[in-house]
Amino acid sequence: MEEYINGLNNWTVVKYLGGIYVIITAVLTYIGSLLNKIIVNRIQRDSDSKFEELKGEISRINSLESNFTQQYGQVFHKLLETRIPKIEKYWDCILEIKSSIPDPVLLSYQILIDSELNTETLNRSSIGTKLSKLHALEDLKNLISQKKEIEKLRPFISEKLWLLGNVYSDFIGRCSYLLIDGYKKGKIVIWKYDTGVKQILLTSLSEKEIGHILKNEFHTFENFLQLLEYKMLNEVSRLISNEALTEDGFRGIELFNRLLNANPKGF
């Protein structure tokens, strides 16, 4: 044995040690690979389990949201059956308010420019005679009456539509009063420069919209009426279309999700 050991040279020792190292490395690599597979499989099982739980939760939420939207749609259509007659009544009120503008007032604002809206010019025409027979409070009674009717419709229409109706009637009333009262006093205040009129318009119109219309010298009064009517009709269209359902539905779903997140265990 001693002879065998003594007979080993350095190169032989190195080869033996190298072989042992290779074997140990292979064993460790195998063990590492085995452990890696075990860990990966464990993680995979946990991930699959959590993924299935997540899928189930998403499915549950989607189902709840779908049911919520469907039920909301049914409520909306029932509401629509009540709302449409009220909107028709609302538009009748708007037309009545428009027809309540005294003829001499409407004619003055249609054919005369600012420099002609004075007592001297009006006295040279039949308009002055007709204006002298008007009494602001008496001749605007129908306007006031129709405004009260719009107030009754408020629970069945949108706040925007209700507000536009009030702006419309207030604008007509203020402009009519300025001309009737100003003529009787001998000093007519041009409605375009009246702070009260501007405050009324700013309730529903932007500075840009007001400024754009005021640039025109003719038909300015009528253009404001048409713009307000256009906004009313747009709002009516929104109220009786799917757009209102979609907007309100999304707001409802957003609220529902907040409630659900506040109560993770569900209802």
**pLDDT by residue, tens only, the chain of 267 residues:** 555 445 545 445 444 444 554 555 555 565 666 666 666 666 666 666 665 666 666 666 566 556 655 555 565 567 778 889 999 999 999 999 999 999 999 999 999 999 999 999 999 989 999 999 998 878 899 999 999 999 999 999 999 999 999 999 999 999 999 999 999 999 999 999 999 999 999 999 999 999 999 998 889 999 999 999 999 999 999 988 866 655 555 555 555 555 556 555 544
CA dist., res. 168 & res. 143, Å (int): 10
Range list of H helices, the chain: 2-7, 10-99, 103-111, 119-123, 126-132, 136-139, 141-153, 159-185, 195-202, 207-214, 220-239, 242-262
Q: Would residue 88 count as lying in a domain?
A: yes
CA-based end-to-end distance of the chain: 84
Same domain flag for 92 and 177: yes
Q: How many CB atoms lie within 10 A of CB 102?
A: 19
Which token pair is 176?
Answer: 């009519």
Burial class (CB in 10 A: 0-12, 13-18, 19+), 76: middle
Same domain flag for 47 and 150: no
Same domain flag for 103 and 24: no
Same domain flag for 27 and 153: no
Q: Would residue 15 count as lying in a domain?
A: yes
Same domain flag for 134 and 231: yes
Q: How many CB atoms lie within 10 A of CB 240?
A: 14
Domain that holds residue 50: 2-58
Q: How many CB atoms lie within 10 A of CB 180?
A: 23
User: What sign does the dihedral 66-67-69-74 (CA atoms) show?
Assistant: positive
Q: Would residue 64 count as lying in a domain?
A: no
Same domain flag for 8 and 127: no
CA dist., res. 52 & res. 58, Å (int): 10
Q: Would residue 267 count as lying in a domain?
A: no
User: What sign does the dihedral 56-61-65-67 (CA atoms) show?
Assistant: positive
Q: Would residue 66 count as lying in a domain?
A: no
Same domain flag for 225 and 170: yes
| 266 torsion bin: left (phi>0), alpha (psi -120 to 50), beta (else) | left
Q: Would residue 63 count as lying in a domain?
A: no
> pLDDT at position 81, please?
83
Q: Whole-model pTM?
A: 0.66
103 and 131 Cβ atoms separated by less than 8 Å:
no
Which token pair is 255?
Answer: 């609220």
Same domain flag for 140 and 98: yes
Q: Would residue 232 count as lying in a domain?
A: yes
Summarize pLDDT for 98-127 with one digit per residue, the tens.
999 999 999 999 999 999 999 999 999 899
Same domain flag for 115 and 172: yes
Same domain flag for 47 and 106: no
Number of domains in the chain: 2
Same domain flag for 136 and 186: yes
Q: Would residue 13 count as lying in a domain?
A: yes
227 and 221 Cβ atoms separated by less than 8 Å:
no
Same domain flag for 108 and 44: no
